[in-house]
Amino acid sequence: MLIQIDKLKRRPRQIELEKQASSFPVLAEMVVAQSVTFDESITGSLEVSWVGDFIKVSGHLATLVSTPCCRCLAPVSTRLDVPVLLTYMSAEEGEATHDDELELHADEMDLIYFSGPELDLLPDVEQEIVMSLPQHPLCKASCLGLCHSCGCNLNQGSCNCEAPILHPGLAALKNFKI
């Protein structure tokens, strides 16, 4: 997702994206850590344009993910729609402007600084995908979760643990005299 600034100044660029999650380093790590599974590739289109000293990136990405239910760990399938709206400003431009008011404005606008003849959109686009992942996925609102004592999935039936019981190892320790 490299953008040549010189070319972009001449004409806007349309990026048709179809990428595996493994092409994004942070997403690839999350997949290895099993905190998310991508059931489809990440697709969508981004329009990149040069608008008077700023680079504007806008578009939508979509994919299908599955994340573990935060109570019972069952996989929860979620269709993601990731709106992408990024604004970049040249770092040299930013330094040239010593206007406090403008700087404040820049923070509010979530400006991202870039420098050099090329701009790689990948890290920021990846961040948008990470931010849109479900935070506390639930398989259903009434999910009963797992029993704290025996780990049984309480959605599939109750266990025999009425009250919290001591782990057998801990019970043995209780009788251990120092």
Query: How large is the C-alpha radius of gyration of the chain?
Result: 24
How far apart (Å, rounded) are the C-alpha atoms in residues 142 and 165? Answer: 25
| Segment interacting with Zn ion (CB under 5 A) among 16-24, 34-42, 92-100, 141-149 | 141-149
Q: Which of 151, 149, 160, 153 is nearest to 139 (CA)?
A: 153
Site string for Zn ion, 59-98 (x = CB under 5 A): ----------x-xx--------------------------
For Zn ion, the binding residue among 1, 15, 133, 147 (CB under 5 A) is: 147
What residues numbered 121-140 form the site for Zn ion, per CB under 5 A?
139
Q: Rule CB under 5 A: is residue 28 a binding residue for Zn ion?
A: no
Distinct helix (H) and strand (E) counts, the chain: 6, 8
Asked whether 70 and 63 are in contact (CB, 8 A), the reply is no
Q: Rule CB under 5 A: is residue 161 a binding residue for Zn ion?
A: yes
Residues of this chain that interact with Zn ion (CB under 5 A) are 69, 71-72, 139, 143, 147, 149-150, 152, 159, 161
